[in-house]
Structure 1
Amino acid sequence: MVEDCAQCFGGIYKGRKAGTIGNVGCFSFCQSKHFTTGGEGGMVVTNDDDLAWECRSFRDHGYDVKERLNLLEMEGKLMYIHRRVGFNFRMTEMQSQIGLVELERFDNWNLKNRIRNGKMLVAALKNHPLVKYAPVDTPERQNSYWWAPFVLDTDKLTVSMDKFIKAVAAEGVPVYSVLWPEMYKEKVYVERKGFGTADYPFYDPKSRNIDYTKFNCKQAQWMTHRTISFFTHPVYTEEHMNAYIAAFKKVADVYMK
């Protein structure tokens, strides 16, 4: 099992850190995640030595990275050392150094502040009559608050969700709906734009009959049109969270039936 933990760094499920439950845990350090390694980057964790070497090879052009470590021996001969198809996902030393520093202060600063910020929002808004669902944060499922999305009961609004969100933002706080729309609406799927002249894999025998224009994921659509999201950045203070809470309540008082 491969865990996608790009937005759950520091989260805990049933006593186990996200990324340590499956065979491999994958993390993203691009500019929008819990922390960044100079704008781009990532990390893979595993306790399987064979899988670890496969991951190193995959990120490094498919090289047999064990042999490639012996650079002095390689200088004297031309070696065929590509063992698989791979990519250039290598990070620079500078990016890695930034990541190491961020890791050192993650638990005691980054995660600590995110949890404080997230819990403030949940405590203040979870019982608001307009809020239908708040972020989940329990002893069994501990939230690391990459962000804080709330699902609203739009039947109680006198305006559209879009207008409500814009009104909250007009109070001087950054809010938005969902991070991404339903994936099947992306042009890459609708227009079937793949790799090369064959547009792989969209015209592969296993997928050529899939028509993404006919997809209709009702639950995803339901969430998209009812969600308002707040940032929980570690540099945000309690003052920022109070501004969020005040803005939400003020606009809700105006536009709630």
Structure 2
Amino acid sequence: MNIPLVDLKAQYKSVEKEANKKVKEVLSSASYIMGKDVIEFEKEFAEYVGVKHAISVGNGTDALVVALMALGIGKGDEVITTPFTFFATAESISFVGAKPVFVDVEKDTYNINPSKIEEKITEKTKAIMPVHIFGQPAKMDEIKTIARKYNLQVIEDAAQAFGAEYKGKKVGSIGDVGCFSFFPTKNLGCAGDGGMITTSDDNIATIARALRTHGSGENGQRAYNLLNNITEEVKTSEGHDDTVYNPLKYYNYLIGFNTRLDTIQAAILRSKMSHIDMWNEKRRENAKLYDEKLKDSSITVPVTINEGKSVYNMYVVQSENRDEMVNKLKEKGISTGVYYPVPMHLQKVYKDLGYKEGDMPAAEYLSHRTFAIPIFPELTHEQKEYIIDTVKNISK
């Protein structure tokens, strides 16, 4: 039996008819940039998450970069984040000219350890960027309490956690800004790249919308006025199709980007939105089965906090013999993924920050032990039983 870590073909089959129909509608409309499906998807996404605004962008990394810039974070600033994450988290902070300051994680939840945040705060600290890693919500109450105490912004990196909840609230609605990725392997993924910024702050939303399209047009002027305390009527362009021509795009007010979600990708994502709760619930069911069946094996299963509702974008376990486990599972046809082999503070690109081995003991411990096994919602009963039996036999 061969089981992939993520089965995108199986997911496509479950939405094939609806997705194909929506893509054909976009193609026939010839409205490929900022079309109707983008506008509708943003509305649906905001409503689902529980925020006023959802601003789609080209990918999850751009979501983080634009969010940081919309908050005014840049050169000379510091942003506290986790070392146990994908590179984009730290990279986005560096990209805007700020400095990532790493705080160690908890061994059981894999998320940033709130008890270690306060000691890293300096006069240069402007924000905290927790990551809801593998779909598991971070301890947001503790993080927000610290943020309020020191007047810091909170940016949720929710790239792996669409639909996850903390105390009944969807991630992406708890901090000042939330950032999502629609990379195909995410629990809500498109057929390419895509990302989303969420916020209930009108000003942040206006600046983010301006930044994603070269700081131009109506949103560019509104953002410029906001940033410069100018009160004046903003020009609007009526009756123009942005796909073909909008005269206001040639009036620029900020230095921004070209980072838009394609209309075709928005259409695909809309076709999946009605399935996401069911898919996330199946992931939780699979995780519960793994938790129960593997608890007596030599591997350590992930811990979910009582206040949280994970979506298990990945089911990441720990083993003292990771390399042997991964190799033997591969021999048996079970795909795995190692997340993450090198924590951020030990990446060569961050050598100049002065971190050394031993500075983040929990993250370093996990980097040598963690790996993911398949948990996608389309797993069959036979596949799950095969995975459980194989893992238990190898780990004896």
Contact 1:117 1:238 in 2 (8 A): no
Match of 1:157 in 2: none
Distance in 1 of aligned mates of 2:358 and 2:346 = 8
Match of 2:208 in 1: 55
Match of 1:168 in 2: 329
Contact 1:37 1:98 in 2 (8 A): yes
1:120 maps onto 2:293 in alignment: no
3-state SS of the aligned residue for 2:184? coil
- Report Cα offsets for 1:64-99 as digits up to 9, x if no partner: 443686165898978863232211110111111111
Match of 2:298 in 1: 130
Question: Which residue of 238, 248, 254 maps to 1:84?
Answer: 254
1:229 CA displacement: 1.5
User: What one-letter code is carried by the residue in structure 2 that aligns with 1:237?
Assistant: T
Distance in 1 of aligned mates of 2:174 and 2:181 = 17
- Report Cα offsets for 1:151-196 as digits up to 9, x if no partner: 23x2xxxxx4312221122111112332452123444334xxxxxx
Match of 1:205 in 2: none
Match of 1:143 in 2: 310
1:235 maps onto 2:388 in alignment: no
- Report Cα offsets for 1:1-58 as digits up to 9, x if no partner: 2111001111111111111111211110012211222221011222222221111112
Match of 1:29 in 2: 182
Tell me: CA distance 1:177–1:77, structure 2 relative to 1, closer, same or farther (3 Å). Answer: closer
Where in structure 2 are there 5+ consecutive unaligned residues?
Answer: 1-153, 220-233
Question: Which residue of 142, 158, 170 maps to 1:17?
Answer: 170
User: What one-letter code is carried by the residue in structure 1 that aligns with 2:188?
Assistant: F
Question: Which residue of 272, 275, 284 maps to 1:105?
Answer: 275
Matches within 5 A, 1:212-223: 216-223=359-366
Task: Give aligned-pair identity as a percent.
Answer: 29
1:222 CA displacement: 0.6
Match of 1:195 in 2: none
User: What one-letter code is carried by the residue in structure 1 that aligns with 2:281?
Assistant: K
Contact 1:136 1:143 in 2 (8 A): no
Q: How many residue pairs end up in the alignment? A: 226
Distance in 2 of aligned mates of 1:162 and 1:121 = 20
User: What one-letter code is carried by the residue in structure 2 that aligns with 1:217?
Assistant: M
Greater share of helix:
2
Contact 1:33 1:146 in 2 (8 A): yes
3-state SS of the aligned residue for 1:131? coil
Match of 1:244 in 2: 387
3-state SS of the aligned residue for 2:317? strand
Higher relative contact order (Cα pairs below 8 Å, separated by 6+ residues)? 2
- RMSD (Å) for aligned C-alpha atoms: 2.8
| Normalised TM-score (structure 2) | 0.52
1:43 maps onto 2:196 in alignment: yes
| Normalised TM-score (structure 1) | 0.77
- Report Cα offsets for 1:223-246 as digits up to 9, x if no partner: 011223212112222322222111
